[in-house]
Protein backbone atom coordinates (compact mmCIF):
# COMPACT_ATOMS: atom_id res chain seq x y z
CA UNK A 1 0.00 0.00 0.00
CA UNK A 2 2.87 2.34 0.76
CA UNK A 3 4.22 1.78 -2.76
CA UNK A 4 0.95 2.90 -4.34
CA UNK A 5 0.51 5.86 -1.98
CA UNK A 6 3.89 7.25 -2.94
CA UNK A 7 3.71 6.39 -6.64
CA UNK A 8 3.17 10.05 -7.50
CA UNK A 9 6.34 11.08 -5.72
CA UNK A 10 8.39 8.22 -7.17
CA UNK A 11 7.29 8.87 -10.74
CA UNK A 12 7.98 12.62 -10.57
CA UNK A 13 11.41 12.12 -9.05
CA UNK A 14 12.32 9.39 -11.57
CA UNK A 15 11.26 11.44 -14.60
CA UNK A 16 13.06 14.51 -13.31
CA UNK A 17 16.36 12.83 -12.48
CA UNK A 18 16.78 9.88 -14.85
CA UNK A 19 17.28 10.44 -18.58
CA UNK A 20 17.13 6.95 -20.04
CA UNK A 21 14.00 5.62 -21.71
CA UNK A 22 13.65 2.54 -19.52
CA UNK A 23 13.40 4.58 -16.34
CA UNK A 24 10.88 6.94 -17.91
CA UNK A 25 8.72 4.00 -18.92
CA UNK A 26 8.96 2.57 -15.39
CA UNK A 27 7.91 5.91 -13.98
CA UNK A 28 4.82 5.97 -16.18
CA UNK A 29 3.85 2.42 -15.07
CA UNK A 30 4.16 3.30 -11.38
CA UNK A 31 2.28 6.53 -12.03
CA UNK A 32 -0.60 4.60 -13.53
CA UNK A 33 -0.65 2.05 -10.72
CA UNK A 34 -0.76 4.72 -8.07
CA UNK A 35 -3.55 6.73 -9.67
CA UNK A 36 -5.68 4.17 -11.45
CA UNK A 37 -5.70 1.32 -8.92
CA UNK A 38 -6.03 3.54 -5.85
CA UNK A 39 -7.45 6.89 -6.97
CA UNK A 40 -7.81 9.44 -4.23
CA UNK A 41 -5.45 7.66 -1.81
CA UNK A 42 -2.24 9.46 -2.69
CA UNK A 43 -0.51 10.72 0.44
CA UNK A 44 -0.55 14.45 1.23
CA UNK A 45 3.23 14.50 0.89
CA UNK A 46 3.11 13.07 -2.63
CA UNK A 47 0.24 15.40 -3.55
CA UNK A 48 2.13 18.41 -2.26
CA UNK A 49 5.28 17.40 -4.12
CA UNK A 50 3.39 17.04 -7.40
CA UNK A 51 1.76 20.42 -6.93
CA UNK A 52 5.13 22.01 -6.25
CA UNK A 53 6.43 20.65 -9.53
CA UNK A 54 3.60 22.36 -11.39
CA UNK A 55 0.51 21.29 -13.23
CA UNK A 56 2.31 20.02 -16.38
CA UNK A 57 4.72 17.10 -16.53
CA UNK A 58 6.53 16.33 -19.79
CA UNK A 59 7.23 12.63 -20.30
CA UNK A 60 8.93 11.74 -23.62
CA UNK A 61 7.08 14.39 -25.55
CA UNK A 62 3.71 13.61 -23.91
CA UNK A 63 1.84 16.33 -22.10
CA UNK A 64 0.29 15.11 -18.85
CA UNK A 65 -2.20 17.43 -17.24
CA UNK A 66 -2.63 17.02 -13.50
CA UNK A 67 -5.52 18.50 -11.55
CA UNK A 68 -6.01 18.08 -7.80
CA UNK A 69 -9.17 18.16 -5.78
CA UNK A 70 -10.45 16.73 -2.48
CA UNK A 71 -10.90 13.23 -3.90
CA UNK A 72 -7.53 12.87 -5.62
CA UNK A 73 -6.00 13.69 -8.93
CA UNK A 74 -7.78 13.63 -12.24
CA UNK A 75 -5.50 13.32 -15.20
CA UNK A 76 -5.72 13.29 -18.95
CA UNK A 77 -3.21 12.26 -21.53
CA UNK A 78 -2.49 14.23 -24.67
CA UNK A 79 -0.57 12.41 -27.42
CA UNK A 80 -0.11 9.46 -25.05
CA UNK A 81 -0.93 6.77 -27.55
CA UNK A 82 2.45 7.24 -29.19
CA UNK A 83 4.11 5.52 -26.25
CA UNK A 84 1.81 2.51 -26.28
CA UNK A 85 2.47 2.02 -30.00
CA UNK A 86 5.74 0.47 -28.85
CA UNK A 87 3.80 -2.51 -27.52
CA UNK A 88 1.68 -3.07 -30.63
CA UNK A 89 2.45 -6.04 -32.85
CA UNK A 90 3.97 -5.11 -36.24
CA UNK A 91 1.53 -4.69 -39.13
CA UNK A 92 0.95 -7.78 -41.27
CA UNK A 93 3.07 -8.21 -44.37
CA UNK A 94 1.12 -7.61 -47.58
CA UNK A 95 0.68 -10.44 -50.07
CA UNK A 96 2.87 -8.85 -52.74
CA UNK A 97 5.80 -8.52 -50.34
CA UNK A 98 5.28 -12.07 -49.05
CA UNK A 99 5.42 -13.36 -52.62
CA UNK A 100 8.71 -11.57 -53.28
CA UNK A 101 10.15 -12.76 -49.94
CA UNK A 102 9.43 -16.38 -50.79
CA UNK A 103 10.78 -15.81 -54.30
CA UNK A 104 14.01 -14.41 -52.86
CA UNK A 105 14.42 -17.25 -50.36
CA UNK A 106 13.80 -19.90 -53.02
CA UNK A 107 16.33 -18.33 -55.36
CA UNK A 108 19.08 -17.71 -52.78
CA UNK A 109 18.78 -20.57 -50.25
CA UNK A 110 15.54 -22.38 -49.23
CA UNK A 111 17.17 -23.30 -45.90
CA UNK A 112 16.61 -19.69 -44.81
CA UNK A 113 13.06 -20.78 -43.96
CA UNK A 114 14.53 -22.57 -40.94
CA UNK A 115 15.36 -19.22 -39.33
CA UNK A 116 12.53 -18.00 -37.05
CA UNK A 117 11.01 -14.71 -38.15
CA UNK A 118 12.79 -14.63 -41.51
CA UNK A 119 9.77 -13.05 -43.20
CA UNK A 120 9.63 -10.14 -40.76
CA UNK A 121 13.38 -9.59 -41.12
CA UNK A 122 13.27 -9.63 -44.91
CA UNK A 123 10.10 -7.58 -45.43
CA UNK A 124 11.59 -4.06 -45.05
CA UNK A 125 14.72 -4.75 -47.13
CA UNK A 126 12.71 -6.49 -49.87
CA UNK A 127 10.46 -3.43 -50.14
CA UNK A 128 13.53 -1.17 -50.16
CA UNK A 129 15.23 -3.17 -52.92
CA UNK A 130 12.07 -3.23 -55.05
CA UNK A 131 11.64 0.53 -54.63
CA UNK A 132 15.28 1.01 -55.62
CA UNK A 133 14.81 -1.13 -58.74
CA UNK A 134 11.66 0.83 -59.63
CA UNK A 135 13.65 4.05 -59.33
CA UNK A 136 16.34 2.64 -61.63
CA UNK A 137 13.71 1.77 -64.24
CA UNK A 138 12.09 5.21 -63.96
CA UNK A 139 15.44 6.81 -64.86
CA UNK A 140 15.81 4.89 -68.14
CA UNK A 141 15.01 7.35 -70.96
CA UNK A 142 12.49 6.66 -73.68
CA UNK A 143 10.58 5.19 -75.29
CA UNK A 144 12.12 5.93 -78.70
CA UNK A 145 10.92 4.44 -81.96
CA UNK A 146 13.42 2.12 -83.62
CA UNK A 147 12.72 1.69 -87.34
CA UNK A 148 14.11 2.40 -90.77
CA UNK A 149 12.06 5.59 -90.88
CA UNK A 150 13.40 6.76 -87.52
CA UNK A 151 16.96 6.13 -88.74
CA UNK A 152 16.46 8.83 -91.37
CA UNK A 153 14.72 11.36 -89.13
CA UNK A 154 15.93 10.83 -85.55
CA UNK A 155 19.58 11.78 -84.79
CA UNK A 156 19.62 9.40 -81.81
CA UNK A 157 18.63 6.36 -83.87
CA UNK A 158 21.05 7.44 -86.61
CA UNK A 159 23.85 7.47 -84.02
CA UNK A 160 22.90 4.09 -82.55
CA UNK A 161 23.14 2.21 -85.86
CA UNK A 162 25.65 2.52 -88.67
CA UNK A 163 23.03 1.80 -91.38
CA UNK A 164 19.30 1.17 -91.57
CA UNK A 165 20.07 -2.45 -92.45
CA UNK A 166 21.68 -2.85 -89.02
CA UNK A 167 18.25 -2.24 -87.48
CA UNK A 168 16.83 -5.06 -89.59
CA UNK A 169 19.73 -7.33 -88.61
CA UNK A 170 19.13 -6.63 -84.91
CA UNK A 171 15.43 -7.41 -85.21
CA UNK A 172 16.10 -10.58 -87.19
CA UNK A 173 18.75 -12.07 -84.93
CA UNK A 174 17.48 -11.01 -81.51
CA UNK A 175 15.48 -13.62 -79.62
CA UNK A 176 13.37 -10.91 -78.02
CA UNK A 177 12.15 -9.78 -81.47
CA UNK A 178 11.24 -13.34 -82.35
CA UNK A 179 9.22 -13.59 -79.13
CA UNK A 180 7.26 -10.56 -80.28
CA UNK A 181 6.17 -12.45 -83.37
CA UNK A 182 5.03 -15.65 -81.67
CA UNK A 183 3.30 -14.22 -78.60
CA UNK A 184 -0.31 -13.43 -79.41
CA UNK A 185 -0.58 -11.10 -76.41
CA UNK A 186 1.37 -8.43 -78.25
CA UNK A 187 -1.07 -8.24 -81.16
CA UNK A 188 -0.18 -5.90 -84.00
CA UNK A 189 1.32 -2.46 -84.03
CA UNK A 190 4.15 -1.33 -81.77
CA UNK A 191 5.58 -3.20 -78.80
CA UNK A 192 7.90 -1.92 -76.11
CA UNK A 193 11.23 -3.28 -74.80
CA UNK A 194 14.53 -2.17 -73.35
CA UNK A 195 17.45 -1.81 -75.75
CA UNK A 196 20.93 -2.40 -74.35
CA UNK A 197 24.19 -1.67 -76.18
CA UNK A 198 27.90 -1.39 -75.60
CA UNK A 199 29.07 2.13 -76.32
CA UNK A 200 32.67 2.90 -77.08
CA UNK A 201 34.72 5.92 -78.03
CA UNK A 202 37.39 5.46 -80.69
CA UNK A 203 40.14 8.04 -81.09
CA UNK A 204 41.54 8.90 -84.51
CA UNK A 205 42.29 11.65 -86.98
CA UNK A 206 40.04 13.20 -89.58
CA UNK A 207 39.09 16.31 -91.49
CA UNK A 208 37.35 19.24 -89.84
CA UNK A 209 35.77 22.33 -91.36
CA UNK A 210 36.92 25.48 -89.60
CA UNK A 211 35.14 28.42 -91.18
CA UNK A 212 35.89 28.07 -94.87
CA UNK A 213 39.08 26.10 -94.31
CA UNK A 214 39.20 22.30 -94.23
CA UNK A 215 41.73 21.10 -91.69
CA UNK A 216 43.12 17.62 -92.02
CA UNK A 217 44.58 15.21 -89.48
CA UNK A 218 42.55 16.75 -86.67
CA UNK A 219 42.31 14.57 -83.52
CA UNK A 220 38.76 13.29 -83.25
CA UNK A 221 36.71 10.92 -81.14
CA UNK A 222 34.02 8.78 -82.72
CA UNK A 223 31.12 7.34 -80.72
CA UNK A 224 29.77 4.01 -81.84
CA UNK A 225 27.48 1.34 -80.43
CA UNK A 226 27.61 -2.45 -80.72
CA UNK A 227 26.01 -5.62 -79.34
CA UNK A 228 22.48 -4.26 -79.66
CA UNK A 229 20.19 -6.43 -77.53
CA UNK A 230 16.47 -6.17 -76.85
CA UNK A 231 15.15 -7.51 -73.54
CA UNK A 232 11.97 -7.75 -71.47
CA UNK A 233 9.43 -7.06 -74.26
CA UNK A 234 5.86 -6.16 -73.46
CA UNK A 235 2.68 -4.91 -75.09
CA UNK A 236 2.89 -1.54 -73.33
CA UNK A 237 5.27 0.67 -71.40
CA UNK A 238 3.91 -0.10 -67.91
CA UNK A 239 4.24 -3.85 -68.46
CA UNK A 240 7.85 -3.46 -69.59
CA UNK A 241 8.75 -1.26 -66.61
CA UNK A 242 7.28 -3.76 -64.17
CA UNK A 243 9.12 -6.64 -65.85
CA UNK A 244 12.36 -4.68 -65.70
CA UNK A 245 11.81 -3.96 -62.00
CA UNK A 246 11.43 -7.67 -61.25
CA UNK A 247 14.36 -8.56 -63.52
CA UNK A 248 16.65 -6.14 -61.69
CA UNK A 249 15.50 -7.47 -58.33
CA UNK A 250 16.26 -10.99 -59.57
CA UNK A 251 19.69 -9.80 -60.68
CA UNK A 252 20.50 -8.86 -57.08
CA UNK A 253 19.37 -12.28 -55.88
CA UNK A 254 21.21 -14.20 -58.63
CA UNK A 255 24.44 -12.42 -57.81
CA UNK A 256 24.19 -13.51 -54.18
CA UNK A 257 23.10 -17.03 -55.16
CA UNK A 258 26.21 -17.36 -57.34
CA UNK A 259 28.42 -16.34 -54.42
CA UNK A 260 26.77 -18.90 -52.16
CA UNK A 261 27.14 -21.59 -54.83
CA UNK A 262 30.84 -20.75 -55.07
CA UNK A 263 31.22 -21.21 -51.30
CA UNK A 264 29.42 -24.57 -51.50
CA UNK A 265 31.74 -25.70 -54.30
CA UNK A 266 34.71 -24.63 -52.21
CA UNK A 267 33.35 -26.65 -49.29
CA UNK A 268 33.02 -29.72 -51.53
CA UNK A 269 36.59 -29.36 -52.76
CA UNK A 270 37.87 -28.90 -49.21
CA UNK A 271 36.09 -32.07 -48.07
CA UNK A 272 37.76 -34.01 -50.87
CA UNK A 273 41.18 -32.58 -50.01
CA UNK A 274 40.61 -33.35 -46.32
CA UNK A 275 39.68 -36.97 -47.09
CA UNK A 276 42.78 -37.43 -49.26
CA UNK A 277 45.08 -35.84 -46.70
CA UNK A 278 43.58 -37.94 -43.90
CA UNK A 279 44.20 -41.11 -45.92
CA UNK A 280 47.84 -40.14 -46.49
CA UNK A 281 48.30 -39.36 -42.81
CA UNK A 282 46.85 -42.71 -41.68
CA UNK A 283 48.90 -44.72 -44.16
CA UNK A 284 52.13 -42.98 -43.26
CA UNK A 285 52.92 -42.67 -46.95
CA UNK A 286 53.06 -39.71 -49.24
CA UNK A 287 55.48 -36.83 -49.46
CA UNK A 288 56.46 -34.92 -46.35
CA UNK A 289 56.90 -35.74 -42.68
CA UNK A 290 53.93 -36.68 -40.45
CA UNK A 291 53.86 -33.21 -38.94
CA UNK A 292 53.40 -31.82 -42.44
CA UNK A 293 50.21 -33.85 -42.85
CA UNK A 294 49.05 -32.75 -39.41
CA UNK A 295 49.60 -29.09 -40.24
CA UNK A 296 47.86 -29.50 -43.58
CA UNK A 297 44.87 -31.22 -41.94
CA UNK A 298 44.59 -28.44 -39.38
CA UNK A 299 44.51 -25.83 -42.10
CA UNK A 300 41.83 -27.75 -44.03
CA UNK A 301 39.68 -28.15 -40.90
CA UNK A 302 39.88 -24.43 -40.19
CA UNK A 303 38.81 -23.58 -43.73
CA UNK A 304 35.99 -26.13 -43.58
CA UNK A 305 34.72 -24.63 -40.35
CA UNK A 306 34.81 -21.17 -41.91
CA UNK A 307 32.82 -22.21 -44.98
CA UNK A 308 30.36 -24.22 -42.88
CA UNK A 309 29.75 -21.21 -40.66
CA UNK A 310 29.21 -18.94 -43.69
CA UNK A 311 26.61 -21.38 -45.06
CA UNK A 312 24.52 -21.48 -41.90
CA UNK A 313 20.95 -20.36 -42.72
CA UNK A 314 21.12 -17.50 -40.22
CA UNK A 315 24.37 -16.24 -41.75
CA UNK A 316 22.97 -16.53 -45.27
CA UNK A 317 19.90 -14.59 -44.15
CA UNK A 318 22.11 -11.84 -42.73
CA UNK A 319 24.03 -11.69 -46.01
CA UNK A 320 20.80 -11.48 -48.00
CA UNK A 321 19.53 -8.67 -45.76
CA UNK A 322 22.78 -6.74 -46.23
CA UNK A 323 22.60 -7.19 -50.01
CA UNK A 324 19.02 -5.97 -50.31
CA UNK A 325 19.58 -3.12 -47.86
CA UNK A 326 22.36 -1.67 -50.06
CA UNK A 327 21.47 -2.60 -53.68
CA UNK A 328 23.38 0.37 -55.08
CA UNK A 329 26.61 -1.60 -54.59
CA UNK A 330 25.43 -4.14 -57.18
CA UNK A 331 23.16 -2.16 -59.48
CA UNK A 332 23.21 1.50 -60.46
CA UNK A 333 22.43 3.82 -63.36
CA UNK A 334 23.78 7.17 -64.51
CA UNK A 335 22.49 9.55 -67.19
CA UNK A 336 24.73 10.23 -70.19
CA UNK A 337 24.52 13.17 -72.58
CA UNK A 338 26.91 13.53 -75.50
CA UNK A 339 26.79 15.63 -78.68
CA UNK A 340 27.71 14.10 -82.03
CA UNK A 341 27.46 15.12 -85.66
CA UNK A 342 25.83 13.09 -88.42
CA UNK A 343 28.98 11.01 -88.88
CA UNK A 344 29.18 10.06 -85.19
CA UNK A 345 32.07 12.38 -84.29
CA UNK A 346 31.82 13.80 -80.78
CA UNK A 347 31.58 17.59 -80.86
CA UNK A 348 32.16 20.13 -78.14
CA UNK A 349 31.36 23.36 -80.00
CA UNK A 350 27.59 22.97 -79.79
CA UNK A 351 27.15 22.06 -83.46
CA UNK A 352 26.24 18.43 -82.85
CA UNK A 353 23.00 16.77 -81.83
CA UNK A 354 22.72 15.94 -78.10
CA UNK A 355 22.12 12.26 -77.43
CA UNK A 356 20.50 11.18 -74.17
CA UNK A 357 20.76 7.65 -72.82
CA UNK A 358 21.56 5.96 -69.52
CA UNK A 359 24.51 3.82 -68.49
CA UNK A 360 23.43 0.79 -66.47
CA UNK A 361 25.98 -1.11 -64.40
CA UNK A 362 24.87 -4.62 -63.44
CA UNK A 363 26.09 -7.16 -60.91
CA UNK A 364 28.93 -8.22 -63.24
CA UNK A 365 30.08 -4.57 -63.29
CA UNK A 366 29.75 -4.38 -67.07
CA UNK A 367 28.20 -1.21 -68.42
CA UNK A 368 25.32 -1.04 -70.85
CA UNK A 369 23.88 1.96 -72.65
CA UNK A 370 20.14 1.46 -72.17
CA UNK A 371 16.91 3.07 -73.27
CA UNK A 372 13.29 2.11 -73.74
CA UNK A 373 12.30 1.61 -77.36
CA UNK A 374 9.23 0.97 -79.49
CA UNK A 375 9.42 -1.72 -82.15
CA UNK A 376 6.87 -2.26 -84.90
CA UNK A 377 5.78 -5.89 -84.92
CA UNK A 378 5.20 -5.99 -88.68
CA UNK A 379 8.66 -4.58 -89.35
CA UNK A 380 10.17 -7.18 -87.04
CA UNK A 381 8.33 -9.93 -88.96
CA UNK A 382 9.64 -8.66 -92.28
CA UNK A 383 13.17 -8.53 -90.88
CA UNK A 384 12.96 -12.12 -89.63
CA UNK A 385 11.55 -13.35 -92.95
CA UNK A 386 14.28 -11.55 -94.85
CA UNK A 387 16.94 -13.05 -92.60
CA UNK A 388 15.53 -16.56 -92.93
CA UNK A 389 15.36 -16.19 -96.70
CA UNK A 390 18.96 -15.04 -96.92
CA UNK A 391 20.10 -18.03 -94.84
CA UNK A 392 18.54 -20.50 -97.27
CA UNK A 393 20.35 -19.19 -100.34
CA UNK A 394 23.98 -19.04 -101.30
CA UNK A 395 24.87 -16.18 -103.61
CA UNK A 396 27.80 -17.14 -105.89
Q: Considering only 141-155, 196-210, 274-288, 332-346, which range has the smallest mean pLDDT?
A: 274-288
Give the Cα separation of 235 and 237 in Å (integer): 7
- Per 3-state DSSP, what percentage of the chain is helix, strand, and coil (rounded to 5)? 55, 25, 20
Phi, psi (5° rounding) for residue 376?
Answer: -80, 125
C-beta separation of 37 from 7 below 8 A: no
In angstroms, the Cα distances linking 11 to 21, 29, 139 are: 13, 8, 55
CA atoms 289, 292, 298, 301: torsion sign: negative
Mean pLDDT of the chain: 75
Say if strands 332-340 and 144-146 run parallel, antiparallel, or are unpaired. unpaired
pTM: 0.69
Q: How many structural domains does the chain have?
A: 2
Assess whether 201 and 340 both reside in one domain: yes
Structure confidence at residue 91 (pLDDT): 77
Q: Is 347 part of any domain? A: yes
Across the range 329-347, mean pLDDT stands at 87
Assess whether 341 and 231 both reside in one domain: yes
Assess whether 215 and 361 both reside in one domain: yes
Assess whether 220 and 346 both reside in one domain: yes
What count of other Cβ atoms lies within 10 Å of the Cβ of residue 29?
A: 11
Assess whether 166 and 35 both reside in one domain: no
Which of 87, 118, 134 marks a domain boundary?
87
Q: Is 41 part of any domain? A: yes
Assess whether 77 and 183 both reside in one domain: no
- Greater confidence (295 vs 62) lies with 295
Assess whether 76 and 155 both reside in one domain: no
Q: Is 288 part of any domain? A: no
Across the range 19-35, mean pLDDT stands at 44
Task: Give the pLDDT band (50/70/90) at residue 75.
Answer: very low
Which of 72, 87, 102 marks a domain boundary?
87
Assess whether 57 and 179 both reside in one domain: no
Residues 237-256: tens digit of each pLDDT: 999 999 999 999 999 999 89
Q: Is 46 part of any domain? A: yes
Give the Cα separation of 312 and 325 in Å (integer): 20
Q: Is 21 part of any domain? A: yes
Assess whether 75 and 10 both reside in one domain: yes
Q: Is 223 part of any domain? A: yes
On the CB side of 273, CA atoms within 13 Å amount to 16
User: Domain span at residue 384?
Assistant: 144-237+330-391
Assess whether 56 and 169 both reside in one domain: no
Amino acid sequence: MLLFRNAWLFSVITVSCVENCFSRLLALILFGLGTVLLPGQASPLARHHAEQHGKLLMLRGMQLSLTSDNHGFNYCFSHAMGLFDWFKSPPPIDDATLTMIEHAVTLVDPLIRQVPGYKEKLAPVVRHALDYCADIVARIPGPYEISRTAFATDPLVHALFATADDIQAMLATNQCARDLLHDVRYGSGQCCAMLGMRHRVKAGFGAQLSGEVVRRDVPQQALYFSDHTLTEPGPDLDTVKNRLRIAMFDSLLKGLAEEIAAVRNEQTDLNKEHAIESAWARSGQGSGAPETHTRRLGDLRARLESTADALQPAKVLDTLISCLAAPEAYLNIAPVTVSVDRTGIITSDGNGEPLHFAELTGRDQRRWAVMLVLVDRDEARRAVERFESSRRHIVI
